[in-house]
Amino acid sequence: MISVFENRAPKVLFILGFFICFSLISVRVVGQVSQAVFACDATKDRKVVHYGFCNASLGRDARVADLVRRLTLQEKILNIVNGAGNISRLGIPKYEWWSEALHGVSNIGPGTNFSSLVPGATSFPQVILTAASFNTSLFEAIGKVVSTEARAMYNVGLAGLTFWSPNVNIFRDPRWGRGQETPGEDPLLSSKYGSSYVKGLQQPDDNADPSRLKVAACCKHYTAYDLDNWKGVDRYHFNAVVTQQDMDDTFDPPFKSCVVDGNVASVMCSYNQVNGKPTCADPHLLAGVIRGQWKLNGYIVSDCDSVEVFFDDQHYTKTPEQAAAKAILAGLDLNCGSFLGQHTAAAVKKGLLKESDIDNAITNNFATLMRLGFFDGDPRKQPYGKLGPKDVCTAENQELARDAARQGIVLLKNTAGSLPLSPAAIKTLAVIGPNANVTKTMIGNYEGIPCKYTTPLQGLTALVATKYLLGCSNVTCGNAQVKEAKKLAATADATVLVMGIDQSLERESFDRVDLRLPGQQPLLIKEVAKVAKGPVILVIMSGGGFDISFAKHNDKVTSILWVGYPGEAGGAAIADVIFGYYNPSKSFIIKKVPMTNMNMRPDPSKGYPGRTYRFYTGETIYSFGHGLSYSKFSHKIVKAPQTVSIPLDNDHVCRHSLDCNSVEAVEQLCKKSVTFDIHLRVQNKARHGGSHSVLLFVTPPSVHNSPRKHLIGFEKISLKGKSGTLMRFKVDVCKDLSVVDELGRRKIALGQYVLHVGNFKHTLSLRI
């Protein structure tokens, strides 16, 4: 029997007889631990005061060198795996390197647990939604909260200090199961997200010693990793064939920004091969690029069991000892897994490795722990020593989670007179759909245990009277409750359909095969829209995009919202947007192309349309950056150059040739700092105040298969109704306007550029 339940705000809500007012979590309780794990504890062993590595007054390099020289080979090997063994004779305890903090402190890795002392931590929206806010200060603010809660948990023995987050892979295809973890498809946005979140996690609150770390972040998975398991092709066997051009202008920039701009403490190599080599065994990528070119100050870690994978699954080496040697010689410092622990000693014995090679690896690992204060004794006497359970799940932190969801939610469609709804005008709101009353779905993957949940139904019921119907038994929606849903929508003043998917249909090791909403979800949406008495608001909860053209072009579907996986407070944020307590902004792109082709650029001869908004030539449903608002914003460039000249030496070949279409963006030229300012006037012409993401794109000259357009700057602003502001973007010619040529070299194209802000365009000429 199908039941519909009526709920009247502000009374408590009952569904199926269960009391579900703003629901608290159920907690998996572990054994109570009351003290942080740390080395150099003089209260347990007085000898440690005589060890150089325990002497905080010495330089960090000297301390690390002192520690390394004291260790036996076997003790060194204990410290190149994530579950580092204790060295009791030196007062060094076991340490678990693997903790996660993708969008809040997580208990996915073995380094972190929740208990009755700290039953949960603030669970922010999944990264793909937070990135849609285009707000770098928000990215950093979330990182600061997560690191504070992490330190608080460390102090009571529930967490480590090394967190393998964020994921900055490019979301190349919306079917990828892990795209939800990433900042999206754009290299600049991904770069800004990665470096900002890393700064929030790592930077000391007092900035007294910038070389110290609050916690250690890790940017993953390096590189060209964006396929998990698609039509029989899995990440353990996939060889990503990538041009140098695509590597340098698409896949690598977020990792470079993590290291160069964010000073991240770690980079994780991926499972896949790139051009025939496992990334964790490629000396060019690890020692050459990450540590050599970008100057990583930290350690390189493998994805879990990836060294074993390139031996057992990819058969890259004949023996496990060769695999261990290949990884360490390539520049790997730490193995997530046990493979190096099992086979490194034999590799040394067979002459495949020198002990000094292992010294290099553990030096990087120990230096990171030194920066975290792990070897400085009792953490209660250190800068974060007063943090504890009281600092986790604070009201301020939970409000930031709600605000992050509000800022990321995207209004894709809004027919005049639909949204925002008026609480005074809505006597009954129909709430229908398999994601309308979900909890865990809202926090996506690599999640922790949240402070509490507010479901979409709960958020809406807090504002108006609601009638709820599940609509489908789950997101696969094999048999929709069409008749009951139509009856409910026909009598309600407005209808909210909360559809989409969950981790059963997109997750790690599981990619989608198409872009359609599953099962009978489209049927349910169309049938409800036909008979609905009032506005029909379609809410899509998902990480990846969908082909929702049927809803976009259906006049009876009056509004469409994409809400990602909105975190613990997602339901409250959705209600805030639907009822106009928050004014939404920007979006993503949806497209269809084969998943295994790594080429970013189109190939018309093969009917290949390219990847991401920067190169894709096919039809899109909603393009990158699309997003509506309850306000009406206009843009005008009020000051910008018509011509920009590049200062070249008199003997430069391009001064004497008519065939030069670009010049190399070499260090000598870029040191001259060729920059110019773009001054914008942004006006809110509506009565509603609101936030607005101002995106600056450029279309470069058509040379070197350059992008059709690409993002070069963005800023989030807030404007009151009927008000305006002046903004300025500083454009660096070398950094912002250069493109990558076919050989992977940075070039500055000569000719006409078009700057785009909203619907406004400005043309300028770049010449010598």
- What residues act catalytically? 303
Cis peptide before 10 (omega within 30 of 0): yes
194 and 262 Cβ atoms separated by less than 8 Å: yes
Location of structure tokens 């301390």: 63
Residue 245 φ/ψ, nearest 5 degrees: -65, -50
The identity of residue 634, as a single letter, is S
For residue 679 the two structure tokens come to: 């001054």
Classify residue 502 by burial, with Cβ atoms within 10 Å: 0-12, 13-18, 19+: buried
Location of structure tokens 């006597």: 427
* Distance between start and end Cα atoms, the chain: 76
For residue 113 the two structure tokens come to: 């647990």
Please give the Cα distance from 240 to 596 (Å, whole number): 8
Instruction: Please tell me the number of Cα atoms within 13 Å of 664 on its side-chain side.
Output: 10
Please give the Cα distance from 238 to 745 (Å, whole number): 27
Q: What are the angstrom distances between the C-alpha of 528 and each of 8, 12, 269?
A: 22, 27, 47
Pairing of strands 675-684, 723-732: antiparallel
Please give the Cα distance from 310 to 317 (Å, whole number): 8
**DSSP three-state, residue 379:** helix
**DSSP three-state, residue 757:** strand
608 and 599 Cβ atoms separated by less than 8 Å: yes
Q: What is the 3-state secondary structure (H, E, C) of 653-693?
A: HHHHCCCCCEEECCHHHHCCCCEEEEEEEEEECCCCCEEEE
224 and 273 Cβ atoms separated by less than 8 Å: no
Pairing of strands 83-84, 95-96: antiparallel
Please give the Cα distance from 308 to 315 (Å, whole number): 10
Helix ranges restricted to H, 450-481: 456-461
Please give the Cα distance from 374 to 368 (Å, whole number): 9
Classify residue 260 by burial, with Cβ atoms within 10 Å: 0-12, 13-18, 19+: middle
Please give the Cα distance from 748 to 250 (Å, whole number): 17
Please give the Cα distance from 74 to 189 (Å, whole number): 44
566 and 575 Cβ atoms separated by less than 8 Å: no
Location of structure tokens 């709920």: 7
CA 613 distance to own-chain centroid: 18
155 and 93 Cβ atoms separated by less than 8 Å: no
570: nearest Cα among 169, 259, 126: 126
